[in-house]
Structure formats: structure tokens, C-alpha cells
Amino acid sequence: MRTRPLKVALLGCGVVGSEVARIMTTHADDLTARIGAPVELAGVAVRRPSKVREGIDPALVTTDATALVKRGDIDVVVEVIGGIEPARALITTAFEHGASVVSANKALLAQDGAALHAAAVEHGRDLYYEAAVAGAIPLIRPLRESLVGDKVNRVLGIVNGTTNFILDKMDSTGAGYQEALDEATALGYAEADPTADVEGFDAAAKAAILAGIAFHTRVRLDDVYREGMTEVTAADFASARQMGCTIKLLAICERAADGGSVTARVHPAMIPLDHPLASVRGAYNAVFVEAEAAGQLMFYGPGAGGAPTASAVLGDLVAVCRNKLAGATGPGESAYTQLPVSPMGDVVTRYHISLDVADKPGVLAQVATVFAEHGVSIDTVRQSGKDGEASLVVVTHRAADAALTGTVDALRKLDTVRGVASIMRVEGE
């Protein structure tokens, strides 16, 4: 066994970074045995050096992250500061000065993953990022290693614990969106500014990463259709229950039936109660993978938090250190298929549309005509009303998003349609 330690630089020492440091210290002997050499925390870059960090030697703390990654004796840089800059510059600088990188930075990888992979290859270094998607759940490595000999056709998942907690509370208690969000904030599941979560930005970044790995093509954040869940109401859940469904914010990555393109999208959707994702409660994550040979696989567990995310970081750290000792690097970017990403208008799915209409004869016929004129087939219709006003719920067969958009635009022009109360996709069937 090698006795000279592998040196690790830690960029960021917040909730995740502090857990990484703690595990490196408390599990030092086990990590040494598993790697084949000891690992040593050689420096910790932070913004507020005066803050007391239990278990970390203050002599290791610095505010000069650039100088730390430029030292030349660092073997692995662990980046958990997040954001685009200075993380991007620090990672590329680490490669240039001989270090491999373990990152949890989903936003940066979704935006500039191709450039970072190219820089890693140029300098013969590793870039691992299991912690960037779904916290402790092993997902990146199964997709890019265990399933690399298979053909993945679909990845469907709940990849944001905050939104799942909110929607689960709305479903199980009848709470409104704001009430459920307030509880999530009080419990620490939601940030003071929850925009990245509830508007789907966080999930969209993860979808871009998953689609790129699953389909061996480049998918950027800008390629992902994104729709938040702030407009989901108690009435939507009532309608879902009548259909035997619940509502989840889903990240969906699909290969087209002809294999010539892919789609990546994030939006609320109704899913049947007998689908495995329907039973995912609280702040948990779960991802459903469909592959040709392997069939249907589901990965489930805590998708965020200090200890769970640190677990994924440490798993990558062990792998990268083993590669370092072997004089090798692990798998890099695989984008050989160069498949285009189709726009949302090409996506085909089912829809649940709630309309406020006038309660008088002929309204249903008018609405049905509009659907027929746009080539959207109706599966079921439910109507209720009194005192001259009515609610009309239409569930379609599978139709292209562009056709449904045209249908809704035409419905809004009917004098008998007072408004479109909600539109929701139906997935998982």
C-alpha cells in the first residue's frame, strides 16, 4: 500500500462541504483501505474564514481558492461551491495544474459540461459528478457505466425534493400551494428564495445531465423545456384523484420512437397511482429508467441534504483516487450519437384540460369540434355546472404538444368558453 497521501483540496465548506470534511476525517482508515493509499485534506477554500468549522484545522482554511488549486501538489479538487463562476475557472485551473475534479455543480455541468469534459481529457484528468443529480442516489455511474452496453430509451423521475414535498403535502392534506411551501420552508426543505426549485430550474439542469449521459449526446440546459409547479391547485389534485392519479413535478428525457432525436423536459404531470413514482413521498427523489435489455429500473432515495450529497461526493473521491493510483482515468463524455434535441411542440403525450364554460346546449359540441379540427382525439369528457356556468374536463388521447397548443388557443376564442382553468400532461401510462 502506498504511504504517501493523496492530497485533496475542498472548495466550499457549507452544508455539503463540511460533511465531506467530516467523513474524510472519521472514516480515514476505511478510505485508506478502500483506495490503497491515505487521503489528506490539504486545504479548504471558503468565503468567511472567521467562521468556526468543527473538526477542520484552521491552518487549512483559505480565501484564495485559485492559489489552492494552483499549488501543483493537489491530486483531487472537490468543488461544492455551486454556481457558474468562479467554479468554472477553478475547475479548469485544477485540470491545468494536475488535479482531477469531483463536483456537485449541476448548473455548471448542464451549461458547460462539454467544455469541462474536453478540458479534463486535454490534461488527462478525471471529472466525476455523481452528487450533481439526486443526492445520494447512485444514478450517474449506473447510466454511464453499468448501462453503457444497453440502449436507454427513457429516463423519468422526481429529481427535486423540495417540489416533491410541496406536492405531496398538497395531495395528502389538501393544503394550498402557499401553505405547503411555507411548511417546506419552516422545515428547511425550501430555500428562502425557492425559485430555482419551484420554477423547475434545478430539475431542468439535472434533466440536461441525465439526457446527455443516457442518450450519448450533448444536451444543454437551454435545450430543456421547463415549466414550474406554482400554478398547481387543490382543484388539480381533485381532478387527478378522479382519474386515479396524483401530480408530480417530473424530469422526462426520451429517445424518439425512430431513434433520430431526443427530448428533455420538466413540468408537472398527472401519473397513475399504480406507477412506482406515485408512491414517492416527502422530500425523496426517484428516477425510473427504461432500457432495451435491462427493462425497467428504479433508483430511489434522499436526493439532497449534507450527508446524502456528501456520500455521493466521497464515492466519486474514492473512484478518482483509485484511478490516480492506477495511472488511469475513468469514463469521460460520450456524445458520439450527436442526436438533435426536438422542441417541446414535437412531444406527444396525453392531456387533462379544465375549461370554464357557459352552461347551455351546444357547448360540448363546439368544444369537441375545435379538438377535431386540430387533430386532437378526445378520450373522456366530464361536465358539471349550475346557474349558467359549468366546468368541462377533457382528457385527450396522445397528441403532439403543438397540436394541443393550437387547440387551446382556438378554445379561448369561443364565446362559450369563459377561460382555461388548467392544462396538465398525463404521463407514466
Kindly report whether the peptide bond that precedes residue 331 is cis, defined as omega within 30 degrees of 0: no
Distance CA 289, CA 211 (A): 11
Distance CA 133, CA 26 (A): 25
- 8 A C-beta contact, residue 126 and residue 113: no
**CA angle in degrees (0–180, nearest 5) for 372-373-375:** 60
In a 10 Å sphere around its CB, with 0-12 CB exposed, 13-18 middle and 19+ buried, how is residue 413 labelled?
A: exposed
Closest CA to 401 of 374, 364, 372, 370: 374
- 8 A C-beta contact, residue 91 and residue 118: no
C-alpha cell at 400: 403532439
The reply to whether 206 belongs to the active site is yes
In a 10 Å sphere around its CB, with 0-12 CB exposed, 13-18 middle and 19+ buried, how is residue 260 labelled?
A: exposed
- 8 A C-beta contact, residue 138 and residue 130: yes
Distance CA 45, CA 62 (A): 5
106, 206, 248, 324: the catalytic one is 206
Residues belonging to the active site = 206
